[in-house]
Homo-oligomer: A and B are copies of this chain.
């Protein structure tokens, strides 16, 4: 009998989770595993929501946003008795390895699970915040960026038609990655993030000079974590003298059919995850760094701090001053 391997998604949903699940299941089968899927993330591990990954189930999911396996945040998994229950659910089906698609919180939880019961896992990084240490890319980021782009391009139509300023708040509690990249990609004039110090005085001087020179609208992108959306909107109206409006993009950013980049990364991460498990790795996270796919022990990931690309920071400095 072939050995069981279970796949599930955990934490905040991100585009690319579905392709990752599909590819992991298919590649696992090709490598001789019997693939299982678990609904509802860690909660489903405890509550025994397992299903065999047959062709029917995973066909037609590649192009769908979110995660059809659903996700959750589970407090019970912090307690040993529930983890034990999850372990028994695995054991009775002969499932010996896990692939989890999610964020670093989920990886830590599984690391504890490995310490308890010795079930190896491979983590596939997926979060639109792109803030997992050790990897340049997390699933969902490219799709989120393109959803933002479409929204900002649309708002620009009105900004330009009406000679107005628009402040657009994008997701990112502790990380300004989405804000910075979309500010560059959409040609915003201002970008405020948690990482970069900003100077409203110099921004104000710059904008006034440009408006004098003919600029008739302004786009400003702020990261959620700065909590500057409201303030900046009023400030532009009052100090710059251009009527401003705030748009909080919200959960529109999370959804949408995964882009090619997210599908392809999902494919490659999934292959890497199965290969890592086969090679005997027990608790590692897949990474993409400097153009290379690899993996890092979860401990290394947890002990490191995510650092933004210095070139990106440099390019955005102009937009914060």
Q: Which residues does A use to contact B, with CB under 8 Å?
A: 9, 12-13, 15, 17, 22, 40, 55-56, 60, 62-68, 70-72, 136, 142, 145-149, 151, 153-158, 160-163, 166, 181-182, 184-187, 213-216, 245-252, 254-257, 259-261, 263-264, 267-268, 271, 289-293, 311, 315
CB distance from A240 to the nearest CB of B (A): 18
Contact: A157 with B254, CB < 8 Å?
yes
**Chain B residues with CB under 8 A of A256:** 154, 157
CB closest residue in chain B, given A248? B248
Contact: A161 with B67, CB < 8 Å?
yes
How many copies, total? Answer: 4
CB closest residue in chain B, given A180? B264
CB distance from A155 to the nearest CB of B (A): 5
Contact: A161 with B55, CB < 8 Å?
no
In the complex, 10 of the A-B residue pairs with CB atoms within 8 angstroms, ordered by the A residue number, are: A9-B161, A60-B160, A63-B156, A72-B162, A146-B146, A146-B260, A182-B260, A185-B260, A185-B267, A248-B250
CB distance from A208 to the nearest CB of B (A): 15
**Chain B residues with CB under 8 A of A257:** 149, 153
Bound complex: CA of A158 vs CA of B140, how far in Å?
A: 12
CB distance from A190 to the nearest CB of B (A): 16
Given contacts A166-B251, A187-B22, A214-B56, contact A267 B160 (CB under 8 A): no
Contact: B259 with A149, CB < 8 Å?
yes
**Chain B residues with CB under 8 A of A247:** 248, 250-252
CB distance from A90 to the nearest CB of B (A): 23
Bound complex: CA of A156 vs CA of B213, how far in Å?
A: 32
Contact: B214 with A157, CB < 8 Å?
no
Contact: A161 with B13, CB < 8 Å?
yes
Given contacts A136-B291, A271-B315, contact A70 B162 (CB under 8 A): yes
Bound complex: CA of A2 vs CA of B217, how far in Å?
A: 29
Bound complex: CA of A145 vs CA of B185, how far in Å?
A: 18
**Chain B residues with CB under 8 A of A213:** 55
CB closest residue in chain B, given A148? B260
Contact: A66 with B263, CB < 8 Å?
no
CB distance from A152 to the nearest CB of B (A): 9
CB closest residue in chain B, given A262? B185
Given contacts A185-B264, A250-B248, contact A255 B157 (CB under 8 A): yes
Contact: B149 with A260, CB < 8 Å?
yes
**Chain B residues with CB under 8 A of A156:** 63, 255
